[in-house]
Chain A
Amino acid sequence: MTLTLIGVNHKTAPIEVRERIAISREDLPETTRALSAVPGVVECMIVSTCNRVEILAAVEDSEVRLSGFLSEHFGLDPAVIGPHLYEYRDQEAVRHLFRVAASLDSMVVGEPQILGQVKEAFAVARASGTVAGQLEHLLQSTFAAAKKVRTETEIGSNSVSIASVAVELARKIFGSLQGRTVFLVGAGKMSELAARHLVQQGAGKILVTNRTLERARRMAEAFQGQLVPQIVPFEQLYEEASQADIVISSTGAPHPIFRREHGQAFLQRRRNRPMFFIDIAVPRDVDTAMGKLEGIFVYDIDDLQQVAADHMAERGREASDAEALIAGEVERFDQRQRTVNVAPAIVALQQQAEEIRLTELKRAHARLGPLSAEQVAAVEALTKGLVNKFLHPPMQALKQAARENDAVRLETLCETWSLPANGAYELEQEPVAEDSTSNATNSERPESAHMSHTSGTDRQ
């Protein structure tokens, strides 16, 4: 049985290609079942996100071509998709899957969503009845490896999007955001996104203002379902701002609209309770002198981007530790897999020994004559003990040879003990050559550790 992983991701395929083979959540069970019907596919699952579509399958032999399934199922010319496909086998497939689940292969390294997406894909495959022993074992190990990376490195500990950096900073000031008031000054996509993040974290009230009341109204409508924002006329900006804990400003004003004297008035009215200004306007809306006031914290777009970039660099540093962890986990998985593969030989050895024991016991009974129940039990225990002790060294040797991937030693042991060497157990073969249709070989795989931040969100 061979493990195969084939797919495209944001590094190998442009959006135009990815969107043609993207599988919606509703279609995923049916597509997974269709894949499992491909001759030679024993177990399979499909991971489909906005940045990748990957097929993982246990196939009967390495000749099974999964790329053909993608072309046929989505009605694509193989020449269109072929150059963007990558394919991994066995240990490399395991490594890739571990890296994906641990978010080392993501556009934003360390983002947490991908693990949930892999889990969801696995759940769909399990519900569709297309996974059994081998993939079940592999996926459990994958989740454990991803969890280990998350807990033992700080790869996902810092925010890397502007909106989540703003939330993190607000948390540093206010602790819980429960019940805090957010004031959106000016209507803009970025400020809306930041405000949404704050609302998700528990912000209890939103005030919206804009020079054009209609735009303020439209922005307020965008929040419906979460909160009912209060629209504030722009003329009342300074009266209402003091009740806000967090002010997100993004007006198109050519000069600062919040100046030092405003900050002093706000603090006086708020009895020195701190205020956090997120200034994402260019030119800036908040005068730098205001940020010098005790209790007022001002972060402009450059500050936020700097924090995000620093976090990104931190993640990059953590990623190298994570890669080492993944390498260890892949090795451990292989060892476990090889030990599992040698199990039939061990069973055969135990059966042989048991047959010999029973035959010899029968012969001895004939010579000894009638024995009491206690005597029978004693002889049984004695023979079983002898057999177990005698079998222990060869069994350990078999397991050791499997763990060390020592095919010669394993063959010698099988010959010595007359065990079936018919391929019921398999050792890891030398890495197979990449499929000739595959475009992305291992050496070509782009490193994720230095991926630059290109998205406004953490989403995979």
Chain B
Amino acid sequence: MYLLWLRVAAILYAAASVAVFPAVLYGMVRWRKTCVHLAGLGFFFHFVSVVEMLVQAHRWMPVGVRELESILGLAVVALFFLVWWIYDAISLGVFALPITFFVVFVPALGPDRYVFPSNGVRMSWLVAHIAALLAAYAALGFSLLASVLYLLQERRLKSKRRAAGDSWWLPLDWLPPLDTLERIAHTTLEFGFPCMTVGLLIGAVLVQESSLGAAYFYDPKVVASFVLWAVYVALLFVRRSAGLRGRRAAYLSGAVFLVMLAVLMANVISQVHRYGPR
């Protein structure tokens, strides 16, 4: 039965992870309430699941990676609620809730590995995994490009030299307005984020079927991907909360882009991700 409660908790955490972004990034009060309620319910079912799991096992010590992951997830959410209770802040939920979901997701699948019914289904998940991550990378690249164009347009407007023979800005007449560039940069980032999250999640589903187990989390590519995800969240968060734009936003986008390049380059040493024979 504990598995059922854990699965219910995982679903509630997933919903809370979705709700936390509009709540934090856009300060939407309704989403904030929804997020807290969903996370609270998830925590309740998660707690019941953990207690039942340990009672059934007649021990209070977790054994095995899956039990450990479940309790780690519970601890993360507990801390999230502690911060919320003391400081009335849910901003950390942007990291805490999706991480909890990631951690709880694999144990919620059950003690045995989930095996895809056919190779076709497996390939479909693999294609979805790659497509979602490539979409996220493309969005990140596009956002960086828009940020760089923002810098050029800003410099051009600041320079005040325009047209006439002495201007080297003239070929940049086609540049969109600053506000449009800023919105492109932000919207593409926001589009890329769910793509990246879904891509990583599907990756987790795919890897649990393999015999890699915990080794999966030591793979440099996987580690770099999770770092990229965290940096991505930070980028979104800072852009939104501090109203970051212009030069600093471009630099930050550039930094995230470098992490993305590191993720791509990690293929060279990755055990999990091999594109073709070596």
- Our pick among A270, A273, A310 for the contact of B162 (Cβ within 8 Å) is A310
Q: Complex formed: what's the CA distance from A314 to B243 in Å?
A: 38
Q: Complex formed: what's the CA distance from A175 to B178 in Å?
A: 7
The answer to whether B178 and A172 touch across the interface, beta carbons within 8 angstroms, is yes
- The winner among B158, B176, B179, B248 for most chain A CB atoms within 10 A is B179
- Our pick among A272, A297, A314 for the contact of B163 (Cβ within 8 Å) is A314
The answer to whether B160 and A306 touch across the interface, beta carbons within 8 angstroms, is yes
12 more CB-based (< 8 A) A-B contacts, given A173-B178, A271-B243, A274-B178 = A172-B178, A174-B178, A174-B179, A270-B243, A272-B242, A272-B244, A291-B158, A294-B247, A297-B158, A303-B160, A310-B162, A310-B167
The answer to whether B180 and A175 touch across the interface, beta carbons within 8 angstroms, is yes
State which residues 267-302 of A face B: CB under 8 Å.
270-274, 291, 294-295, 297, 299
State which residues 243-268 of B face A: CB under 8 Å.
243-248
Q: Write the nearest CB–CB distance from B184 to chain A, whole angstroms.
A: 11
The answer to whether A272 and B243 touch across the interface, beta carbons within 8 angstroms, is yes
The number of chain A residues with a CB under 8 A from chain B is 25
- Chain B residues with CB under 8 Å of A310's CB are 162-164, 167
A307 within 8 Å of B (CB atoms): yes
The answer to whether A173 and B157 touch across the interface, beta carbons within 8 angstroms, is yes
The answer to whether A294 and B246 touch across the interface, beta carbons within 8 angstroms, is yes
The answer to whether B154 and A175 touch across the interface, beta carbons within 8 angstroms, is no
- Chain A residues with CB under 8 Å of B164's CB are 310, 313-314
The answer to whether B163 and A175 touch across the interface, beta carbons within 8 angstroms, is no
The answer to whether A172 and B246 touch across the interface, beta carbons within 8 angstroms, is no
State which residues 143-198 of A face B: CB under 8 Å.
158, 169, 171-176
Query: Given A174-B177, A175-B179, are A273 and B153 also a contact pair (CB < 8 Å)?
Result: no
Q: Complex formed: what's the CA distance from A271 to B186 in Å?
A: 15
The answer to whether A272 and B245 touch across the interface, beta carbons within 8 angstroms, is yes
Q: Complex formed: what's the CA distance from A52 to B179 in Å?
A: 42
A96 within 8 Å of B (CB atoms): no
- Listed A/B pairs (16) with beta-carbon separation below 8 Å: A172-B153, A173-B177, A174-B177, A174-B178, A175-B177, A175-B179, A175-B180, A176-B179, A270-B243, A274-B178, A294-B248, A295-B245, A297-B158, A299-B160, A310-B167, A311-B163
- Chain A residues with CB under 8 Å of B179's CB are 173-176, 274
- Chain B residues with CB under 8 Å of A172's CB are 153, 157, 177-178
Q: Complex formed: what's the CA distance from A274 to B245 in Å?
A: 9
- The winner among B153, B160, B164, B246 for most chain A CB atoms within 10 A is B160
The closest CB in chain B to the CB of A297 belongs to B157
The closest CB in chain A to the CB of B177 belongs to A175
The number of chain B residues with a CB under 8 A from chain A is 21
A-B residue pairs, 7 tightest by C-beta: A271-B243, A175-B177, A310-B163, A272-B243, A310-B164, A175-B179, A175-B180
Q: Complex formed: what's the CA distance from A273 to B243 in Å?
A: 7
The closest CB in chain B to the CB of A157 belongs to B173
Q: Complex formed: what's the CA distance from A313 to B162 in Å?
A: 12
Query: Given A175-B176, A175-B177, are A313 and B163 also a contact pair (CB < 8 Å)?
Result: yes
- Chain A residues with CB under 8 Å of B247's CB are 294
State which residues 166-223 of B face A: CB under 8 Å.
167, 176-180
The closest CB in chain B to the CB of A171 belongs to B177
The answer to whether B246 and A272 touch across the interface, beta carbons within 8 angstroms, is yes
The closest CB in chain B to the CB of A180 belongs to B179
Q: Complex formed: what's the CA distance from A258 to B34 in Å?
A: 44
Q: Write the nearest CB–CB distance from A100 to chain B, whole angstroms.
A: 26
- The winner among B157, B158, B163, B244 for most chain A CB atoms within 10 A is B163
The answer to whether B163 and A158 touch across the interface, beta carbons within 8 angstroms, is yes
- Chain B residues with CB under 8 Å of A169's CB are 157
- Chain A residues with CB under 8 Å of B242's CB are 271-272
Q: Write the nearest CB–CB distance from A452 to chain B, whole angstroms.
A: 15
Query: Given A171-B177, A172-B153, A173-B177, are A295 and B246 also a contact pair (CB < 8 Å)?
Result: yes
- Chain A residues with CB under 8 Å of B157's CB are 169, 172-173, 297
Q: Complex formed: what's the CA distance from A271 to B179 in Å?
A: 14
Q: Write the nearest CB–CB distance from B199 to chain A, whole angstroms.
A: 31
Q: Complex formed: what's the CA distance from A295 to B154 in Å?
A: 8
Q: Complex formed: what's the CA distance from A291 to B160 in Å?
A: 11
Q: Complex formed: what's the CA distance from A36 to B44 in Å?
A: 93
- Chain B residues with CB under 8 Å of A314's CB are 163-164
The closest CB in chain A to the CB of B181 belongs to A175
Q: Complex formed: what's the CA distance from A227 to B158 in Å?
A: 31
